[in-house]
Amino acid sequence: MASIAQIEHFVSVEDLSNEQVLLLLKRAFAFKQGIKWQPPKKQIFTANLFFENSTRTHNSFYIAERKLGMDVLEFDAQTSSLQKGETLYDTALTLSALGVDIMVIRSGVERYWKELIQSSTIKCHVINGGDGSGQHPSQCLLDLMTIQEEFGEFAGLKVAIVGDLVHSRVARSNMQMLKRFGAKLFFSGPAEWYDQEFDAYGEYLPLDELVGKIDILIMLRVQHERHDGSQSFSKADYHRLYGLTKKRAERLKKHAIIMHPAPVNRDVEIADALVESAKSRIVEQMINGVYARMAILEAVISE
């Protein structure tokens, strides 16, 4: 088991060493190639607690858990004692006492996991399925996997992340990790969704200057649910100004790929016809997500 990253809690890419990330990727590819997993003799219980809407991350973890032969408790916030005022801490304390080994949590509260992993009463491993506008480390791992699958390595790759940067936990996790692995980063999108702190990771440029020179274009979803309605552009305007139109896509390099964490707003961030096109890796990202999450689950349970 020397080749398995042993990680107590998988909550933020900031906590991961490069070696751990590379081990996780290696195992994710092994799972994709169909390597069999020797499940532990003990029955493993995973609880999925998704307090924000999710299709991909939630179901991807579910399938990964079941592929590893784990038992899955789908926690339903709407019919739980959270409705009687119980806190996330006490909910986690309960699930831990009931025998849950791993909790996969998505919450709108940034760094919600802090008090959970500091508790000596809560024994569960915590996997972060996204925290507010904070981190989305499992998405980052599947993005790295998709890039590594395509290009073999990260160093020197030119990657543009475009769109709703300030609200995107995907952008945050990815820029930290890609920079560490030697990629060259660029940003684009509306100025009001860009923050000076991103200058530390890459260069902010107009999309039309970028499309012709990058290897990987990561388009971000316009997160209507995190905006207060004050944004000033229509869908058509956004598409024309900051979206990947068919015209812009024609200027992409021959080997360049298009990525998007999805769900996609078709014809907003990206033209409808490009979503399932030859350059798109959006479906492949979802496929890889299951294997990346199998690697994460294995890593925490091996700890």
d(CA 208, CA 142): 27
DSSP 277: S
Task: Give the number of residues written for the chain.
Answer: 303
d(CA 234, CA 301): 46
* Residues contacting residue 212 through CB under 8 Å, at least 6 positions apart: 251, 252, 253
DSSP 186: E
Which runs of E-coded beta strand occur in the chain?
A: 45-50, 71-75, 102-107, 125-131, 158-162, 184-188, 202-204, 216-219, 257-259
Pick the closer one to a second copy by CB: 190 or 289: 289
Pick the closer one to a second copy by CB: 160 or 239: 239
Q: Are 137 and 10 in contact (CB under 8 A)?
A: yes
* Residues contacting residue 210 through CB under 8 Å, at least 6 positions apart: 160, 162, 186, 188, 217
Give the chain's end-to-end CA distance (angstroms, integer).
Answer: 11
For residue 115, the surrounding DSSP H or E stretch is helix 114-118
The sheet with strand 71-75 has its strands ordered as 71-75, 45-50, 102-107, 125-131
Pick the closer one to a second copy by CB: 36 or 254: 36
Pick the closer one to a second copy by CB: 103 or 178: 103
Q: How far is the CB of 32 from a second copy (least distance, A)?
A: 11
Q: How far is the CB of 85 from a second copy (least distance, A)?
A: 7
Pick the closer one to a second copy by CB: 75 or 242: 75
Q: Are 220 and 164 in contact (CB under 8 A)?
A: yes
Q: How far is the CB of 171 from a second copy (least distance, A)?
A: 17
Pick the closer one to a second copy by CB: 214 or 257: 257
| Most distant CA atoms of the chain, gap in Å | 57
Classify the phi-psi angles of 270: left when phi > 0, otherwise alpha if psi is within -120 to 50, otherwise beta.
beta
Q: Which amino acid is at 37?
A: W
Token code pair at residue 226 = 């995190």
Q: How far is the CB of 206 from a second copy (least distance, A)?
A: 27
Pick the closer one to a second copy by CB: 80 or 234: 80
Pick the closer one to a second copy by CB: 20 or 231: 231
Residues engaged in binding a second copy (CB under 8 A): 43, 45, 47, 50, 53-56, 58-60, 62-63, 66-67, 71, 73-76, 78-86, 90-91, 93-95, 97-100, 121, 224-225, 262-266, 276, 283-284, 286-287, 289-290
